[in-house]
Every structure is written in structure tokens, then in C-alpha cells.
Amino acid sequence: MDHDGHDEDEPADPIADMTHIRDMVEHFGFPLEEHLVYSDGYCLGIHRIPHGPFPPPVGTPESAGAPPAYGTAKGSMSSSADDVVVLPPTPISVHGRPVVLLWHGFMMCSEVWVCSRTNSLAFMLAEDGYDVWLGNNRGNKYAFKHLSKNPNDAEFWDFSLDQYTQDLSNVVDYILAQTGQPSLIYVGFSQGTAQLFAALSSNPALNQKIRLACCLAPTGKPHDLKHSLVASLVKSSPSLLYLLFGRKSAIPSVFFWQRVFARHMFIRVMDASMAFLFSWTNSEMSRSAKLSHYYHLYSPASVKSVVHWFQIIRGSFSMYDDAPGLLAPHALTHVPASYPLRNIKTPIALFYGGRDTLSDLGFLLSQLPTPAFVLKVQEYEHLDCLWASSAHSRLFPAVVGVMRALGARHPDGTRAEVPRDFVADEVVAEALARGTAQLGALEMATRAEDETVLETVAKLRGVRKRVTAAPRGGATRGATRVVMMNGGAGKKLAARGHGRHVVAAARAETEVSESGSD
């Protein structure tokens, strides 16, 4: 037994020992395609899960590829074997499936999205009817190649967040060309949200190619790191940082230590490191998840990208400063170009944890256009938006719900397919009810449906005391509760939908009726 009372020889998830995403995805019974995208000479390996798991042969017992319980007849979420819903084999077609692109965080790769069968947003979306793509940044495990530069040379690693934005734009163009779709939905985690903000704000054309952005643990200008020693490094001159860490890959020794340490010891070292840097406890993640997921957490990144983040922490969300001053964030002769976040046109939904010490949500809300939807999970820290044990029920269904509500039209006005193949409407409704939507979000969702609309948003705005009340017998199948904030008065609206039909209605709250507020 180790110091924490766990068996040192406990069996490990085979995912921990898999070194390629193909093995991981196919282990869970899903198909995987590998694609190459060229970005400034770098060869970016990106991955595609075109549909849900392969139908098992008739008479085959349930295996790793059997679908998890993303919704039962009562709309509950469960991971117990008794509640697993096995779908009958159906013909699989990729044509016309809406496209979603998932992007990893800092010092990560696409593997972080597929570490679990029952707690993976990528797999949930693939089963719900989406054509799922996974991106990678230059220099990481799947983009460790350049047409003319050698990874052993410092020139190969001369990139930062500014170049990551170009990778994102090139990958989006490639995916749209391959699928023939006019736009896609983007889901980013941590730095994957920051490079999206940078790309959308500096490339207006990209806003017409990404119709919705769902941001998990969104990051623009991170908080100062908790430990005083590390905080002093953040304030150091880039020259000192390059002297200490070199100009190539950042912390390459991680691969060595994860093979040298016993599994339980490696988990303790990782937990201690994150507690030291960010005061994270990772208590929302199960030990079994850590034993497999932590081995896919790190992927190479440049020291220059670390220095860029340090510049952002002590300054603003700006481009890399090539000539910083010794005593100020920038020299007296110039000002680093800030990313104009107010120029973003793509609707943005934010999903974050209440105990996340890294993301500065206040900064984002002050700089970004008004988000279409915001969901806070109080118990979550930064990594929990990826791997919390409850993410499959508390967070991911809300992402699916926002995609259903706000992803129904391309920026050019044409209709986009909105699948609802697997995740039950009640599950989505329960998750969405914990979030806050702006009035504009409901307007967009309403305009996206050209079928029967019994109550328009314009009528809802004029409601004072007489409203069309929704059924009071509890939530019905397909009901979606969202909390609307307007002039300080909260209204609970229910949108009951089946397929492409939406009924918008308002339920009068006692406090709202008594106040007479709109």
C-alpha cells in the first residue's frame, strides 16, 4: 500500500500505456481518421471521429464500444451497468453531419479529449450526431515536424500564442474544405480558448467560419501564479527565462519522469506540482481517472510560448513583445499590440469552475462582447472542465444544449443541421438550467427555428403581469430551462422543443409579478 492507503499494484487502465490516439479511440470502439494540415511549414496532425462507435456484430456481448448512459427514459445520467442504453445497429452516414472542432490547452495534445469512454465530450458529441475533429498546435506530440526545420534546433521552437492562432485558422480552413460545410462549431479548453479569442479578434473572416464558440475554463489574462518563487519568475526578464530554460521545448523531462516513477508516485508528484503552482486539489477527479489521464496530460510546447504567457500575466492580452523593457512590460519606444477582443462577432458561451485559480473571468467579461451563455460549476477547478467525474452530467450536456440552441444557423443565414441522436433532452435541460443566458441568446435560438413559434421574444419583453404560463406539472420531455437576466429581474423561461419545433413560453415568478418589472 502507498502512503495514501492505495494498493501500489492496483490494475491500471490500459489507456495509461497507450501512446497513440488511434489506439485510444479504437479501444473504445470509435473510428478515427488522421489528417495533415500545413501551417507555416509545420505539419499539424489532426484527428477526426466522423461518427459514433461501430455497431457491434449481432450476438456480440457488450464491450468497450458499447454506448454509455447519456440519457435514460427519465432523462437521468448514470454510469452504472444497469442503466447503459445499447442502441440497435443503424446505418452510419457522415454526409451532412454538423462539424465541431475541439482544441486542447497549454502543453497538451488531442489525446486529452479521449481518455475516458463515459466521460468524454468528444465521444458524447460523436454519438449525438456530430462530425468531431480534434486539433493540435505546432510542436506538440502530433505536430513535431517541419518541412525544413529540425526539432533539435532552436529555430524550430521560435513560436508563441501568435503562431498558434495561425494554426487554428489553417485547421478551420482545411476542415471546411474537407467537409464542404460553410461553418463549424468550436470547443476549446484553456489556452484553446485564448488562441480562439486571438484568432477571431485579428482575423474578421474567421468569424464567418465559426458560428459558435464554447469555451471550457476560458483563459485570456491568467491570474498571477500562487507561489512567490514562481510569481517572481513571471516578472523576470525574458532573457533570464531563456537563460534558465533554453529556447527549445519546455520541460521535456516530464516524459522521463512519468516512466521512471511508479504509477502511484507519478500521480502524487503531478498533484503536488499543480498544488504548488495553482493551489489545485483535483478532488473532483477520481483516482482511477488520474491513473490513466495524467499520462496524457503533457505534450511539448515552446519555451517562447511560456514567456509569452508570462508577458500576458504581467501586462495585457497582447501579442508577443520581441523587445521588452527591463523595468516595464514594454520599452518606451513601443507598445505591444493588444488583441482587439471587442471585434469578435462569433457568439461565445463560457463554462468555468468556481474554484479555478488560473482563469480570470472578470477580465474576459470586461473585454469580450456579451457572452451568449455562462455556466459556473462552483466545485470545479481548471482541469475539472475536462476530467471531473461529474462532467458527463453537469457540464458536457450543457455544452450540447448550447450547441443545439445557438448552432442551428450558419453565419450566412442558411440552416445548419442540429442533431439530437443520443443525449436526452431532459439531461440537456437539467444542465442548462444551472447557467445564465442573455436575452440575445434566446432571440438567436428563436430566429434559428422557422417552424411554429407560439410566443416571440418581442412579446416576452412586453410581459408585465399577464403572461402565457408554462405547464406547472414539472418539466416535460424536451423542456429546456434557462435563466434570463433583464434589467436586474430574473425570468425563468421554458422552451419546449421536439425536432425543429420550438414553443417559447414564460412562467410568471411571484417576485417578478409583484415588482411589476419587465
CB 485 within 8 A of CB 518: no
**How much is the average pLDDT of 218-238?**
77
What are the residue ranges spanned by the domains of the chain? 14-53+93-326+336-453
Identify whether 202 is a catalytic site residue: no
CB 53 within 8 A of CB 29: yes
Q: Is 382 a catalytic residue?
A: yes
Check: CB of residue 126 under 8 Å from CB of residue 101.
Answer: no
pTM metric for this prediction: 0.78
Average the pLDDT over 80-106 and give the result.
63
Beta strands 489-498 and 501-507: pairing type? antiparallel
What pLDDT was estimated at residue 434? 79
Distance of CA 72 to the CA centre of its chain: 25
- Cell 521535456 found at: 252
Residue with cell 492580452: 317
**What does each C-alpha distance from 449 to 85, 183, 208 come to in angstroms?**
30, 18, 20
Instruction: Supply the pLDDT for residue 10.
Output: 54
What pLDDT digit, counting tens, does each position of 193-212 carry? 999 999 999 999 999 999 99
Q: Is 232 exposed, middle or buried (0-12, 13-18, 19+ CB in 10 A)?
A: exposed
Asked whether the predicted pLDDT for residue 455 surpasses 80, the reply is no
Query: Of 16-30, 215-229, 294-308, where does mean pLDDT reach its minimum?
Result: 215-229
**323 burial level (CB within 10 Å; 0-12, 13-18, 19+):** exposed
Query: What average pLDDT does this structure show over 221-225?
Result: 79
Question: 131, 162, 321, 356: which one is catalytic?
Answer: 356
pLDDT of residue 1: 47
Is the pLDDT reported for residue 27 higher than 80?
yes
What is the mean predicted confidence (pLDDT) over 307-311? 93
pLDDT exceeds 70 at position 509: no
Q: Calculate the average pLDDT of the chain.
A: 77
Q: 10-33 in b/e burial notation, b at 16+ Cβ within 10 A? A: eeebebbebeebeebbbbbbbbbe
> In the prediction, which pLDDT does 19 show?
93
Mean pLDDT of 98-118: 96
Reply yes or no on whether 35 is catalytic.
no
Please check the confidence at residue 378 and state whether its pLDDT lies above 70.
yes
- Cβ–Cβ under 8 Å, residues 455 and 468: yes
The CA-atom distances, in angstroms, between 326 and each of 63, 316, 330 are: 60, 17, 8
Whole-number pLDDT of residue 332: 63
Which cell is 142 given? 502530433
Residues 6+ apart with CB under 8 A from 417: 96, 97, 98, 129
Most confident range (mean pLDDT) of 79-93, 146-160, 323-337, 504-518 is 146-160
CA separation for the pair 224, 277 (Å, rounded): 10
* Torsion (CA) 452, 458, 464, 470 in degrees, nearest 10: 20
Phi, psi (degrees; rounded to nearest 5) at 363: -65, -45
Please tell me the distance from the alpha carbon of residue 24 to that of residue 318, in angstroms, as a whole number: 37
The 10s digit of each residue's pLDDT in 133-187 is 999 999 999 999 999 999 999 999 999 999 999 999 999 999 999 999 999 999 9
462, three cell numbers: 412586453
pLDDT band at 236 (very low <50, low <70, confident <90, very high): confident
Select the highest-mean-pLDDT range: 32-41, 247-256, 262-271: 32-41
pLDDT of residue 479: 33
pLDDT in tens, 37-73: 999 999 999 999 999 997 644 443 333 444 444 543 3
Distance between CA atoms of residues 479 and 489, nearest Å = 22
Q: What is the rounded CA–CA span in Å between residue 146 and residue 41?
A: 5
- Is 512's pLDDT higher than 60? no
Q: By C-alpha distance, which of 128, 124, 130, 149 is closest to 139?
A: 149
Catalytic residue among 296, 308, 382, 392: 382
Q: Which of 343, 336, 342 is nearest to 318 (CA)?
A: 336
Three-state secondary structure string covering 89-158: CCCCCCCCCCEEEEECCCCCCHHHHCCCCCCCHHHHHHHHCCEEEECCCCCCCCCCCECCCCCCCHHHHC
Instruction: Output the pLDDT for position 55.
Output: 63
Q: What is the mean pLDDT of residues 449-460?
A: 34
> Helix 121-128 vs helix 396-406: angle between axes, to the nearest 10 degrees?
40
**pLDDT band for position 80 (cuts 50, 70, 90):** very low
- 156 vs 292: CA distance, rounded Å: 31
Question: Which candidate in 190, 202, 299, 359 is catalytic?
Answer: 190
As a whole number, mean pLDDT of residues 15-33 equals 95
The dotted CATH code for 14-53+93-326+336-453 is: 3.40.50.1820
**d(C-alpha 115, C-alpha 13), whole Å:** 10
The arithmetic mean of pLDDT across residues 449-462, rounded, is 34
Mean pLDDT along residues 282-302: 93
